[in-house]
């Protein structure tokens, strides 16, 4: 059983969280920048995949992360990831960008779902203050939203709870 952690970042915050999650999930492999991955078929070698994505392209209909994830979304959708557990975490700013909080998570979630992956790591929206997010499904976010700009004091407890949840939801952790 192997679990991979992948991220993309513009100012380093998503990478930092990937490293901190790796510290909490010792059984997962060391985080990799998705822009260093030449062949997405390496996803198939994992039983679980954890992906980190920031939101930058505020209000855009598509390609909302402004990172290397944007150019491979459709390729991800074309993979066969049946049987894989996939969890997403997102970086955003719930104060300045409260109408678009962590929007980019939704996009990654949609394409992994299209690939047949079993999506895990959903988080209740009740512990967050924001106006709108495309990443909300019903009462839950489709992954773990994190805000290092306005709520960094909450990050430690958020990632610790999420790591515990993933240990229940992803075999091999």
* Cα 97–chain centre separation: 18
Q: Judge whether 155 and 128 are in contact, CB under 8 Å.
A: no
Q: Which is nearer to ligand FMN, 14 or 136 (CB)?
A: 14
Kindly tell me which of 151 and 169 has the beta carbon lying closer to ligand FMN.
151
Residue nearer to ligand FMN on the CB measure, 85 or 125: 125
Of residues 63 and 149, the one with the C-beta less far from ligand FMN: 149
Q: How far is the CB of 41 from ligand FMN (least distance, A)?
A: 26
- Give me the least distance between CB of 91 and ligand FMN, in Å please: 4
Task: Give the C-alpha separation, 28 to 3, whole Å.
Answer: 5
Give the pair of three-digit tokens for residue 57.
């392209």
Residues that bind ligand FMN (CB under 6 A): 9-14, 54-56, 58, 91-93, 97, 100-103, 148-149
CB of 123 to ligand FMN, least distance (A): 15
CB atoms within 10 A of CB 2: 12
Going across the sheet that includes 123-124, the strands are 123-124, 140-141, 136-137
Work out how close the CB of 1 gets to ligand FMN at its nearest, in angstroms, rounded to a whole number. Answer: 28
The least distance separating ligand FMN from the CB of residue 63, rounded to whole angstroms, comes to 12
Under DSSP, the state recorded for 151 is -
Nearer to ligand FMN, 15 or 46 (CB): 15
The length of the chain, given as a count of residues: 173
Q: Which residue is nearest to ligand FMN (CB)?
A: 92
From CA 112, how far away is CA 84, in angstroms rounded?
10
């Amino acid at each position: 059983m192997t679990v991979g952690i992948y991220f993309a970042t513009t100012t380093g915050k998503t990478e930092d969280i990937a490293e901190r999650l790796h510290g909490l999930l010792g059984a997962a492999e060391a985080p990799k920048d998705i822009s260093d991955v030449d062949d997405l078929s390496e996803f198939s070698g994992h039983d679980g995949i954890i992906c980190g994505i920031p939101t930058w392209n505020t209000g855009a209909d598509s390609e909302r992360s402004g990172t290397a994830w944007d150019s491979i979304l459709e390729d991800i959708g074309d993979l066969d990831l049946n049987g894989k557990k996939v969890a997403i975490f997102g970086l955003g700013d719930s104060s300045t960008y409260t109408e678009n909080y962590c929007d980019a998570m939704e996009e990654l979630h949609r394409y992994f779902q299209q690939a047949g992956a079993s999506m895990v790591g959903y988080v209740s929206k009740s512990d967050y203050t924001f106006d709108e997010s495309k990443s909300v499904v019903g009462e839950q976010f489709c992954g773990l939203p994190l805000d290092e700009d306005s709520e960094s004091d909450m990050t430690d407890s958020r990632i610790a709870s999420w790591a515990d949840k993933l240990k229940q939801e992803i075999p091999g952790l």
